[in-house]
Amino acid sequence: MTERVIEVNELARVEGEGALYVRLNGRQVERVEFKIHEPPRFFEALLRGRDAMEVPDITSRICGICPIAYIMSSSQAVEDATGVAVTPDIHALRRMLYCGEWIQSHVLHAAMLHAPDFLNLHDAIAIAQVNPDLVKKALRLKKAGNMLMEVIGGRAVHPVNTRVGGFYKAPSRQAIAAMIPELDWGAQAAREVALAFAGFTFPQDETDYIFVSLIHDTLYPICEGRIGSNRGLDIPASGFNDHFVEEHVARSNALQGRMRDGSPYLVGPLARYANNYHLLSEAARQTARDCGLGEVERNPYKSILVRMVEVQYAFEEAARLARAYQEPSPAFIEIPHRAGVGHACTEAPRGICYHRYEVDAQRRVVMAQIVPPTSQNQPQIEADLARVVAANLDMDDAALQWRCEQTIRNYDPCISCATHFLKLTVERV
Amino acid sequence: MEHGADGAGLIELFATAPAVVLIDATRSGAAPGTVQQFDAAAGPLQADLFHYSTHRFGLAEAVETARALGDLPARLVVWGIEGADFGPGEGLSASVDMAARALVTRLKEEMGPW
C-alpha cells in the first residue's frame, strides 16, 4: 500500500487561520480534517453582564468582512427579547445597508480570492497582470458596496450609525438618491462579471446537499424570514436549537454545526439560491440562466457564479430600495428595560447567522449564543473534501492540494467568525 | 491619513496624490523596532514582510495590484517598523513605540521637499 499525506498548514485566500489534513491509504481515504486553529475569542462570555444596547457594537467586531450580519442578527434578537418591532422604513434601510455588505464580501471573494483558482493563478495580482479591466471592474463594484456602507452606516467597516431599534440618524433622501446611478451601473457590471466567470472550466462534482437558508414569501431573504430547507424544514428563528446542534471537536477551535440527526448541512449562496430562486429579480434569474445555472445548483464550484448573481440582485435591490426611500422618522425605536429571550437569524454573505440573547429586567445580557455560518458549514466542508479526494486519487499531490483548497474556498469560509483556516496535509499511507 | 482594514482601499488612495509615503508594521524576524525603507516605485515589495491576513489585501498586495493596473503614484516610499508582539493586547511595545515616534519626527523633517 502507498501512504499519502497532503498537509496545508496555512490556507490562503480565506479569512482567518486554518489547515487541512488528508491521509490516504492506497486508494482509501482514511482521514480528512478541516482544522480551525484561529484562537478562540469568547465573545459569548464577554457579552454577559453588558447592557443589551452594546451587543451589536461588540459582536460586529467578530468580523471585519461581515459586521452587518452581526449587527443585524444581534439587534433583531435584542429587539425580539424586549418586545420591540421596528418600522417598515427602518427595516428597508437595514436591508439596503445589508446589500452593501453582500456586494463588498461577495465581490472580494469571487473576483479576488476564488477566481484565481479557476485561472490557475496564485492571486489577484496575477489576474491584474493578465486582465486589468476585470480587476478594475471588481474594485469599482466593491467600492460601490463600501459606498452603501458609508452613506447608511457611517463608515465602510464596522458601521457606527446602527443601533438596536434602528439608526442613530437617517441618511437624507438626497444622499440616498445620489447613489442610484452607481447602483444601476453595478447591477449591469455584476452581470458582465458573472458571464465572464461562466466561461471558467468547473470541476465535475455534485451531491445532494441539505440546503438551509432563510425563506420568505415575497423577498429574496436577507434580514427577514423563517429558517427553511430543501427537505421541508420551515421554522421561526426561535426554533433553531430544536433542529440544529453545535459540537466541539478536538481538531478545531470552532464549534461544528449539524442537524439534530447528525447530518451535515450547507448554508450560504447555494442554499439561499436553491430555496429562493423564484424570489430573485427577473434580470438576476436571466443572468443565472445565461451562466448555465439551473434553478437548483449542486456543483459547489459554481458557487462563484451564484455569488455574482447575488451581487447583481443586491445592486438591483439596493437601487429599488433607494428609489422608494423614505427617511425613517423616528430613526430608531426606543428599547425598554424588559426581561426576555430573543432570537434572530439573518443571511450573512456566507449563510445564516443565528443569535439568541437572554436579557434581564435591567436590560443586561444574561446569556448569549452566536452561531456563525462557517461553524455550520465545517462538517459539510469535510464531507465535500472526502468526496473530492476520493474522486481525484490519480492527481499528484500538488494538483490534489490545489483542488482541496479550491473546494474549501467554495465556501468563502470566515474562520475568524467561526472561532469564535488553512494548513493542508495530505498523507498517503 | 490613517487607513485601516482593507488594503484594496489603498489603491483608490494612490490616485489622490502624486507622491505617497506609507508606514506599516513588518514581520521579518528582525529585532522589534527595526525600521526599513523601500522605494516601491522602483521595484516590487516583498509580500510576506507586510502580510497580516490570509483573506484581505495587505499593503504589499495593494501596491503590487496597483502596479499591475498602472495606478501607482510616481513616488511611493514605504517604511516598515518591525513589530514585537502581534497577539491580542493594548498599546505598542516600548521598542516599537520609540521607533515609531522617531520615524514620525524624521519624516516631518524630511517632508519639506515633498
Q: What average pLDDT score do residues A185-202 get? A: 97
Which domain does A130 fall in, by range? 46-385
DSSP A268-298: SHHHHHHHHGGGS-HHHHHHHHHTT--SS--
The predicted pLDDT at position A286 comes to 98
User: How much is the mean pLDDT over chain A?
Assistant: 91
Within 10 Å of residue A206's Cβ, how many Cβ atoms? Answer: 12
Task: Flag whether A429 is in a domain.
Answer: no
Q: What is the pLDDT of residues A378-406, one digit of tens each?
A: 899 999 999 999 999 999 988 988 898 88
User: Looking at residue A61, which CATH number applies to its domain?
Assistant: 1.10.645.10
Q: What is the pLDDT of residues A18-57, one digit of tens each?
A: 778 889 888 888 888 887 766 566 788 889 999 999 999 9
Q: A415: closest CA among A18, A60, A109?
A: A18
Which residues, at least 6 apart from A188, have a Cβ–Cβ distance to it below 8 Å?
none
Question: Tell me, what's the ipTM?
Answer: 0.73
Domains in chain B, number = 1
Task: Indicate whether A422 pLDDT > 50.
Answer: no
DSSP A152-220: HHSSSSS-SSEETTEESSPPPHHHHHTTHHHHHHHHHHHHHHHHHHTTSPPPP------BEEEE-SSS-
Chain A nearest C-alpha distance from B107 (Å): 29
Task: Flag whether B12 is in a domain.
Answer: yes
The predicted pLDDT at position A268 comes to 98
Task: Flag whether A89 is in a domain.
Answer: yes
Contact: A10, B54; criterion CB under 8 Å: yes
Q: What is the pLDDT of residues A217-269, one digit of tens each?
A: 999 999 999 999 999 999 999 999 999 998 887 777 777 889 999 999 999 99
Task: Flag whether B18 is in a domain.
Answer: yes
Task: Flag whether A390 is in a domain.
Answer: no
Task: Indicate whether B110 pLDDT > 60.
Answer: yes
Phi, psi of A33 (to 5 degrees): -130, 125
* B2 has a chain A CB within 8 A of its CB: no
The predicted pLDDT at position A101 comes to 96
Angle, CA B41 vertex, CA B67 and CA B17 arms, to 5°: 80
Q: Considering only the beta carbons, identify the residue of B5, B11, B70 that sits closest to A157.
A: B5
Task: Flag whether B2 is in a domain.
Answer: no
Task: Indicate whether A428 pLDDT > 70.
Answer: no
Task: Indicate whether A180 pLDDT > 60.
Answer: yes
Chain A nearest C-alpha distance from B64 (Å): 6
Whole-number Cα distances in Å, A181 to A175, A320, A323:
12, 12, 11
The predicted pLDDT at position A417 comes to 56
Strand A340-348 with A234-235, pairing: unpaired
The predicted pLDDT at position A40 comes to 63
Contact: A15, B69; criterion CB under 8 Å: no
Distance of alpha carbon A202 from alpha carbon A275, whole angstroms: 23
Angle, CA A108 vertex, CA B55 and CA B72 arms, to 5°: 90
Q: A22: closest CA among A10, A14, A37, A34?
A: A34
* Percent of chain B at pLDDT exceeding 90: 38
- B40 CB neighbours in chain A (<8 A) are none
Q: What is the pLDDT of residues A260-303, one digit of tens each?
A: 999 999 999 999 999 999 999 999 999 999 999 999 999 999 99
Q: What is the pLDDT of residues B51-104, one digit of tens each?
A: 555 555 678 888 988 999 988 999 999 999 999 988 778 889 999 999 999 999
Partners of B31 in the beta sheet? none
Q: Considering only the beta carbons, identify the residue of B11, B12, B55 that sits closest to A14.
A: B55
Within 10 Å of residue A101's Cβ, how many Cβ atoms? Answer: 26
Query: Which grid coordinates are listed for B52?
Result: 497580516
Chain A nearest C-alpha distance from B65 (Å): 5
Contact: A64, B61; criterion CB under 8 Å: no
- B4 CB neighbours in chain A (<8 A) are 157
Task: Indicate whether A346 pLDDT > 60.
Answer: yes
Which residues does A contribute to its contact with B (CB < 8 Å)? 10-17, 64-65, 108, 112-113, 123-125, 128-129, 132, 135-136, 139, 142-143, 146, 156-157, 414, 421-422
Task: Flag whether B13 is in a domain.
Answer: yes
Task: Indicate whether A106 pLDDT > 50.
Answer: yes
The predicted pLDDT at position A157 comes to 80
CA atoms within 13 A on the CB side of A241: 10
Query: Which grid coordinates are listed for A274?
Result: 436553491
Query: Which grid coordinates are listed for A332?
Result: 430608531
The predicted pLDDT at position A421 comes to 38
Phi, psi of B40 (to 5 degrees): -70, -25
Which residues, at least 6 apart from A199, have a Cβ–Cβ distance to it below 8 Å?
none
Distance of alpha carbon A88 from alpha carbon A172, whole angstroms: 17
Which residues, at least 6 apart from A196, have a Cβ–Cβ distance to it below 8 Å?
A134
Interface subset of B 46-105, CB within 8 angstroms of A? 53-57, 61, 64-65, 68-70
The predicted pLDDT at position A112 comes to 85
Q: Are the CB atoms for A62 and A374 separated by under 8 Å? A: no
Task: Indicate whether A424 pLDDT > 60.
Answer: no
- A10 CB neighbours in chain B (<8 A) are 54
Which domain does B73 fall in, by range? 8-110
The helix/strand/coil state of A427 is strand
The predicted pLDDT at position A12 comes to 64
Query: Which of A15, A114, A125 to probe the B interface (max B CBs under 10 A)?
Result: A125
Contact: A139, B5; criterion CB under 8 Å: no
- B69 CB neighbours in chain A (<8 A) are 128, 132, 135-136
User: Looking at residue B103, which CATH number applies to its domain?
Assistant: 3.40.50.1450
What amino acid occupies position A305?
Answer: L
Q: Are the CB atoms for A7 and A415 separated by under 8 Å? A: no
Query: Which grid coordinates are listed for A77?
Result: 434578537
Task: Flag whether A322 is in a domain.
Answer: yes
Contact: B6, A156; criterion CB under 8 Å: yes
More confident residue, A101 or A428: A101
Task: Flag whether B3 is in a domain.
Answer: no
Distance of alpha carbon A317 from alpha carbon A23, whole angstroms: 46
Task: Flag whether A83 is in a domain.
Answer: yes
The predicted pLDDT at position A179 comes to 98
Strand A340-348 with A162-163, pairing: unpaired
Task: Flag whether B1 is in a domain.
Answer: no
The predicted pLDDT at position A215 comes to 98
Task: Indicate whether A326 pLDDT > 60.
Answer: yes
Domains in chain A, number = 1
